[in-house]
Amino acid sequence: MNKKPYVPTDGAQYIAHSLKQLGVSHVFFMDAILRPTLVLMEELGIKRILTHSEKSAAYMADGYARITNRVGVCLAQSVGAANLAAGLQDAYLHRSPVVAMTGRKEPMLRHRNAYQEVPHTPIFSSTTKDSIDVAEAAELPHLLTQAFRTATDGSPRPVHLDLNGLGGEILEKGKVPNPTLPDAALGRLPEHRPLASPEMIAAAAARLAKAKRPVIVVGAGAIQVDAHDEIKRLAEALSIPIATSLGGRAIIPTTHPLHIGTVGTYSAPPGNQLVFNADLVIYIGCHAGDQPTNNYTVPAPGTPIIQIDLNGQEIGRNYPNTTSVLGCPRQAIEDLLAANKNAVGWSDWAKYAASVVADWRADLASLRKSDNPPTTVERLCREISQALPKNGILVADTGYSGIWTATVLDLPFKGQSYLRAAGSLGWAFPAALGAQCGAPDRPVVCFSGDGAFYYHLTELETQKRWNLPVVTVINNNSGFGQGTPKIASFYQGRKGGNPDEINRFGPTNFAAIAKNFGIDGVRIEDPAELATALKRAINARKPILLDVVTDIHPRAPEPWEPPTV
């Protein structure tokens, strides 16, 4: 006898069973929100990760979404809604699929100076694709499904559901008369995407054939459609150098002879120089904003562009001389290669690009091997590169953490992943915990400066509670190193003053703090201890923090700037 399928009858049951149907394995939340629903989630095997701030919940959901290509879910009650909205900024900028649910006051209490209440839709309007008010449980089959559909379609981005009741309790108690569960496929980024037309491929192939110095610039959109192998085949077959945005950094191993590094404001000199000298740039899943274009100066204005993207609104937005390829980047790359199967390729140009990169890397060799304390960040990055396993995930914060890891830290294996903050300082540690939840069998290393780590160090308790084996590496220079020269320049010509008040703090022993949370903490002041400490920490598969003492004054690589006219 066939067992009848379970039919949820109220809002709490519908939300819990829908998330299970959609493949959600973890939700990240700040109490108090959807408590009966959370109880049901436990019965269904969904892990409920209580955090210590709403922003941490959003960052964890973002890290989970990026590493799994599934929708991350975060929750907060009404009074925490503004904090949750702020935490979605990074997911919005990176184009990460997240569904955020908040409680809101019931209708009769709105616009009456109710305790804890401000309008939520305006707060979420700038960090989500849509903010949806859910007044009745009967609306859930339509609106919850639509939230997941919107979060994953086109350019993925967060979506907000505002649930009736301070903690969503009114919605939870309401009846759901037609409880059709969502299509399970909506829980992840689409596997089948619109295809670029033959006419578009032909136009791109014709433009490529005329180039003498083409380069490929890869963004996060190519990572999201898993175009790693296709891009590698195209580049190798035609000998085209590959640059990346930070979001696209792991598309091929960074030690590959065609990889010329990141490009833009977080670039080592070779990346900008070579992309500027190119006579054709092929953007693949990259929206060409101010960061990967060095404030729209690289490539040079007027350079011919081929732009491959799933979102037509992004094609030609910043470079008008653009040949549009609207469709799935993975399929478009294969078709573009097929259309150029008789091309000779650009081996001389590729060899030149490789020599430029090799010369720059040679200049770094002494710093990468330095035994002198305090540890150079170049040495720190080298040791992480050598210790990170073939399936490792590196999660980097913004600012100098992003620059160092994007320019000096190698990811030499195909199976490695690189997640980086899209601008929110303090994002990396909670995001690394979320990524570990999404990929429990993969080693995760978080790279953070001390200034960033202060934001959410309370999540050490969350890490301990859930035994999440993230290895956190703190580049501890007792201040915000990136702005040190600029601040000093403002004091030039002044008598007296204390520039340290603007960007210095500590010193703090984060290893000792970690131990107070019950997590192994190791303080490293001698660079000779780094390699062993990293390998032991990663192999231990338990929560460990490495507090690496560095100097605030050495500079990360500076981007090459085009000549002024």
Asked if 245 contacts 262 with a C-beta cutoff of 8 angstroms, the reply is yes
Residues 147-193: pLDDT tens digits? 999 999 988 999 999 999 999 999 999 999 989 999 999 999 998 89
**How sure is the predictor about 109, in pLDDT bands with cuts at 50, 70 and 90?**
confident
Q: What pLDDT score does 2 carry?
A: 61
In percent, the amount of the chain with pLDDT more than 70 equals 99
Q: What pLDDT score does 18 carry?
A: 98
Asked if 399 contacts 482 with a C-beta cutoff of 8 angstroms, the reply is yes
Asked if 251 contacts 218 with a C-beta cutoff of 8 angstroms, the reply is yes
Q: What's the CA gap between 247 and 266, in Å, rounded?
A: 11
> Which of 114-118, 185-189, 384-388, 507-511 shows the lowest per-residue confidence on average (mean pLDDT)?
114-118
Residues 525-565: pLDDT tens digits? 999 999 999 999 999 999 999 999 999 999 999 999 999 86
Q: What's the CA gap between 451 and 117, in Å, rounded?
A: 32
- pLDDT at residue 4 is higher than 70: no
Asked if 302 contacts 274 with a C-beta cutoff of 8 angstroms, the reply is no
Structure tokens at 347: 């081996």
Q: 389: which residues sit within 8 A by CB, 6+ positions away?
A: 443, 538
Sign of CA dihedral 304, 308, 313, 318: negative
Bridge partners, residue 295, by sequence:
none
In percent, the amount of the chain with pLDDT more than 90 equals 93
Q: What pLDDT score does 129 carry?
A: 97
Q: What pLDDT score does 178 carry?
A: 86
Residues 1-11: what's their mean pLDDT? 75
Pairing mode of beta strands 471-476, 444-449:
parallel
Give the DSSP per-residue string, 157-215. Answer: --EEEEEEBTTSHHHHHSB-SS-PPPPGGGGB--SS-PPPPHHHHHHHHHHHHT-SSEE
pTM for this one?
A: 0.97
Residues 462-470: what's their mean pLDDT? 98
**How sure is the predictor about 495, in pLDDT bands with cuts at 50, 70 and 90?**
confident
- The residue type of 121 is T
Residues 237-269: pLDDT tens digits? 999 999 999 999 999 999 999 999 999 999 999
Reading phi first (left if > 0) and then psi (alpha if -120 to 50, else beta), residue 416 is in beta
DSSP state at residue 30: E
- pLDDT at residue 67 is higher than 70: yes
- pLDDT at residue 370 is higher than 90: yes
Structure tokens at 544: 């460990």
Q: What's the CA gap between 245 and 288, in Å, rounded?
A: 9
In 340-425 the beta strands, taken as DSSP E runs, fall at: 393-396, 417-420
- pLDDT at residue 1 is higher than 60: no
In 342-498 the beta strands, taken as DSSP E runs, fall at: 393-396, 417-420, 444-449, 471-476
Residue 282's nearest CA partner among 266, 256, 263 is: 263
Of the two residues 107 and 172, the one the predictor is more confident about is 172
- Across the chain, mean pLDDT equals 96
Residues 112-149: pLDDT tens digits? 888 878 899 999 999 999 999 999 999 999 999 999 99
Structure tokens at 507: 């010193």
